[in-house]
Amino acid sequence: MIQKHLAHLTLALLTSWSANAAVVASFNDPSPSPASPDFILYTTPTGQQVLGQWSWNGPVLQPITLNIPIRNKVVTGVFLNMPLLSVGGAGTIDLTDMRGNVIVHIAFDKGFILAGNTGFGASPATGSHVTISGPGIPTFSNANFAFKFDRTSRIAANTYGIDASFTCGY
| Residue 74: C-alpha distances to residues 2, 117, 162 (Å) | 33, 29, 24
Mean pLDDT by 10 residues, the chain (170 residues): 31 33 85 70 84 56 82 88 90 90 95 81 89 94 90 84 88
Q: How far apart are CA 42 and CA 65, in angstroms?
A: 26
Residue 34: the pLDDT is 62
pTM attached to this predicted model = 0.80
Residue 94: the pLDDT is 93
Q: How far apart are CA 102 and CA 96, in angstroms?
A: 4
Q: How far apart are CA 94 and CA 81, in angstroms?
A: 5
For the beta carbon of residue 118, count every other beta carbon within 10 angstroms: 15
Residue 53: the pLDDT is 64
Burial class (CB in 10 A: 0-12, 13-18, 19+), 13: middle
**Contact of 104 with 68, CB cutoff 8 Å:** yes
- Please tell me the chain's helix, strand, coil percentages from 3-state DSSP, rounded to the nearest 5: 10, 55, 40
Element (H, E) at 2: helix 2-6
Residue 33 dihedral angles phi and psi, to the nearest 5°: -170, 165
Per-residue model confidence as pLDDT tens digits over 81-117: 888 889 999 999 999 988 889 999 999 999 988 876 6
Element (H, E) at 78: strand 73-86
